[in-house]
Amino acid sequence: MTHPVTYEREGRIGLIRIENGPVNALGQAVRAGLDAAIEAFIQDGEAGIAVIYGAGRLFIGGADISEFGKPPQDPWLPEVINRIEACPKPVIAAMHSAALGGGLEVALGCHYRLAMPGTKLGLPEVTLGILPGAGGTQRTPRLTGLAKAMEMVSSGAPVTPEAALEIGLIDRIGTGDLLEDAKAYASELLAQAAPVRPVSAMPRPAADATASATIRATLAKTARGLVSPLAAVEAVEAACDQDLPEGLAFERAKFQEMMQTPQREGLIHAFFIERKVARLPEIDGIEPRTLSQIGVIGGGTMGAGIATAALLRGLSVTLIEQDGAAAEKARDTIAGNLGAAIRRSKLTEEGRDAILGRTLATATDYGELKNADLVIEAVFEDMAVKKAVFAELDRVCKPGAILATNTSYLDINEIANSISRPADVIGLHFFSPAHVMKLLEVVVADETAPDVTATAFALAKRLGKVAVRAGVCDGFIGNRILSHYRAAADRMVLAGASPFEIDRALTDFGFAMGPYAVADLAGLDIGYMTRQRKAADRDPQEVVPVWADELYHLGRLGQKTGRGYYIYEGRKGTPDPEVDEMIVKARADAGITPRTFTKDEIVRRYMAAMVNEAARVVEEEIAQRPLDVDVTLLAGYGFPRYRGGPMKWADMQGLESLLSDMESYAQDDPYFWHPAPLLMRLVAEEQTFDSLNAG
Ligand code: T1G
């Protein structure tokens, strides 16, 4: 086995190289290797200074997350870093691309820090439900002061080299040639006989009550139930009145505490499944088709959003509308989206001008799509309309062009089979606003060619989206599951819970929004249309939320009309007694005596409905693995990330207890509650959903 850390010398400079692809994570062999390399440097009488650097894509991506939850193996990272810091000769960290978590902590143990332009320097541990555990909370504030350090550890957001230089986190920004820059810096320091400069010997940071109060106020708004950011802040504050050894012990205790939390387990599950989701045997080794010219049909909110997403990532877009006025309107919508991107620093003004002047074309003639590599239609949700669009595309598009539909529920097989090239047809289900939302459902139809699927995944990556493979059914993965848990919520409303109680129970659980606030945001016309569409084959026992139909007929369409389930002033809604009256009447009409629901029961019923339908979706192979469901709900439906997704949540509850909940719900509502066969099988086999994610 080759060693992941090597030591060699050039002149008087010791070079310590870490090579442990893909991200130079600090697994046991790297930690041991660093220890040995520092020892070799100490023993090497010819060497006056050492440089630690990473081979490959980046400096160090942090601790090896896959070791979490396993028995710890010596040497410990905090001790390795202490030994680097205690080295009697100076050590430089030379960083490129990314120095994250334990990676930045290694650099903080060095005496001098050099970063190449564009390096991301950060302590992202809180995004994994933990906090820096190798001195990051103690050394950072000694360099940057309390406020900056608290901000870094609690947000997890990386800083740029420029910002890092300004706050004192690094000493120098290189030119971009890692080894040359590092050796030049080392030679300079040698020439000056620069001393070792351990951060632990620097004065403690000054306490700052205002900064502490400010960060707590921010976290009260942003942390939404996540516990690690505050723990990280407390560890940083400990640096103000403790020397390094005591501070490290305090940090360690907090770190261990966070390691035991279910939030840590949920977040690490989320991290790994987001990377696993694109790994599909059907596209393994398949070359995607070339993509540079994109066509979009329809310039409404969705079409304009899709066009914006593509333009922001450097793709050329031709957008087709029915007439010149509609095309102009679409252009305005896109310009507005780009303006918002400028405000979020995602685009420069020159970038916008170039896009509007060159890379975006609007047209009314489908013939303009003759060179398009991929066309995405985002027209009205109606099979006849979609088929007409596809017939046109079949006529004008070049051979090999991918023809995609953004439908959210229509049968893509039917669309595909209506044209001469079904193998080129795929569903690309974006979520509104399409240039912001992370999720993309890639809906693979019966005839879709594997390289079309591979191209869809490549496109998602280019657009910075998380793609999930879905099969064809009404609603695919996300909306199909949503319609089931939303039905469970409506049944609770009819039985006695208020929409407000349900929303509050679910936001307390960690959802970004509850189902009724979501409905108001999306527009109550959407739900109404869905109910109309499904009315023909509706089972008479299904609960129809008549109050929702009533709201629609009153023109109360949610946020956009100022009233829906809630009354809005701006984006903030307050419950409306009139809605309660409608619901009271609906219950009376149905002969129901309302009962009360605890928060816990609301959450458990809602989640049980979600998990049960998700189990069916997996069983029917609409989702190939439970992780595809988890990623869908996390990336597109506001599911609390620290709970890992509904399937992970179910595993952590214990599937048996969930099944027994469902059996008890079935006693008062036998029509709705039928445990999914997959769930029953897993319980019988004492297995978890996660056992189906392997491979
Ligand atoms: N440990 C183990 N595996 C990791 C890893 C890590 N830290 N980071 C990435 N991988 C795997 C990943 O699963 C994928 O595997 C492959 O590497 C490429 O990743 C003591 C407690 C570094 C910016 O939170 O943010 O340090 O799917 O596709 O887009 O305080 O990975 O190929 O099998 O994401 O180029 C803190 C997490 C750890 C950084 C690179 N560090 N990683 O992005 O590649 S906790 C982090 C990232 C810690 C100390 C503590 C990104 C990246 P596979 P990728 P990328």
Q: What is the pLDDT of residue 88?
A: 98
Domain boundary among 470, 497, 529: 470
Domain boundary among 216, 243, 260: 260
Which is catalytic among the residues 39, 46, 79, 105? 105
Single-letter amino acid, residue 325: A
**Domain-embedded: residue 286:** no
Single-letter amino acid, residue 221: K
**Are 211 and 339 found together in one domain?**
no
Cα(42) to centroid of ligand 1, in Å?
31
What's 146's domain CATH number?
3.90.226.10
The residue-averaged pLDDT of 520-542 equals 87
**Under DSSP, is residue 395 helix (H, G, I), strand (E, B) or coil?**
helix
**Domain-embedded: residue 268:** no
**Are 520 and 617 found together in one domain?**
yes
**Domain-embedded: residue 687:** yes
ipTM surpasses 0.95: yes
Cα 474 to the center of its chain, rounded Å: 25
Cα(23) to centroid of ligand 1, in Å?
6
For the chain, counts of helices (H) and of strands (E)? 28, 18
Whether the predicted model's global pTM rises above the 0.90 cut: yes
* Whether residue 125 lies in the annotated active site: yes
Per-residue pLDDT of 361-384, as tens digits, reads: 999 999 999 999 999 999 999 999
**H or E segment and range at residue 17:** strand 13-18
598: containing domain: 478-692
The residue count for the chain = 695
**Are 432 and 535 found together in one domain?**
no
Gap between the Cα atoms of 620 and 477, Å rounded: 11
**Domain-embedded: residue 626:** yes
Q: What is the pLDDT of residue 469?
A: 98
Ligand 1 atom nearest to CA at 64: 1
User: Would you say residue 1 has pLDDT above 60?
Assistant: no
The residue-averaged pLDDT of 3-16 equals 97
**Are 497 and 442 found together in one domain?**
no
Give the residue, by CA position, lying nearest to ligand 1 atom 49. 102
What is the pLDDT confidence band of residue 570, given thresholds at 50, 70 and 90? confident
Domain boundary among 238, 260, 282: 260
Largest CA distance in the chain: 92
**Are 168 and 255 found together in one domain?**
yes
- Tokens standing for 305? 């959003």
**Domain-embedded: residue 162:** yes
Per-residue pLDDT of 200-259, as tens digits, reads: 999 999 999 999 999 999 999 988 899 999 999 999 999 999 999 999 999 999 999 999
* Domain tally, the chain: 3
Per-residue pLDDT of 48-85, as tens digits, reads: 999 999 999 999 999 999 898 888 899 999 999 999 99
**Are 362 and 511 found together in one domain?**
no
Ligand 1 atom nearest to CA at 133: 30
What's 609's domain CATH number?
1.10.1040.50
User: Would you say residue 695 has pLDDT above 80?
Assistant: no
Give the residue, by CA position, lying nearest to ligand 1 atom 8. 61
The rounded mean pLDDT for the chain is: 96
Q: What is the pLDDT of residue 70?
A: 86
**Are 454 and 495 found together in one domain?**
no
**Domain-embedded: residue 448:** yes
Q: What is the pLDDT of residue 161?
A: 98
Per-residue pLDDT of 629-653, as tens digits, reads: 999 999 999 999 999 999 999 999 9
Which residue ranges have their beta carbon within 6 Å of ligand 1? 22-23, 25, 57, 61-66, 77, 98, 100-102, 105, 124-125, 128, 130, 132-134, 136, 272, 275
**Are 179 and 256 found together in one domain?**
yes
**Are 94 and 204 found together in one domain?**
yes
**Are 81 and 191 found together in one domain?**
yes
User: Would you say residue 103 has pLDDT above 80?
Assistant: yes
Give the residue, by CA position, lying nearest to ligand 1 atom 55. 23
Q: Which residues, 6+ apart, have CB-to-CB distance to 358 below 8 Å?
A: none
Q: Which backbone phi and psi does 572 adopt, to 5 degrees?
A: -95, 125
* Whether residue 274 lies in the annotated active site: no
Per-residue pLDDT of 277-315, as tens digits, reads: 999 999 999 999 999 999 999 999 999 999 999 999 999
Which is catalytic among the residues 8, 39, 79, 125? 125
What's 392's domain CATH number?
3.40.50.720
User: 491 and 543 in contact (C-beta within 8 Å)?
Assistant: yes
Q: What is the pLDDT of residue 208?
A: 97
**Domain-embedded: residue 494:** yes
User: 285 and 329 in contact (C-beta within 8 Å)?
Assistant: no
Per-residue pLDDT of 600-640, as tens digits, reads: 999 999 999 999 999 999 999 999 999 999 999 999 999 99
The residue-averaged pLDDT of 545-564 equals 94
What is the pLDDT confidence band of residue 544, given thresholds at 50, 70 and 90? confident
* 591 Rama class: left (phi>0) / alpha (psi -120 to 50) / beta: left
**Domain-embedded: residue 285:** no
Cα 594 to the center of its chain, rounded Å: 39
Ligand 1 atom nearest to CA at 123: 36
**Are 515 and 433 found together in one domain?**
no
**Percent of the chain whose predicted confidence (pLDDT) is above 70:** 100
**Are 458 and 568 found together in one domain?**
no
Cα(105) to centroid of ligand 1, in Å?
15
Cα(64) to centroid of ligand 1, in Å?
8
Rg of the chain over CA atoms, in angstroms?
28
Ligand 1 atom nearest to CA at 101: 26
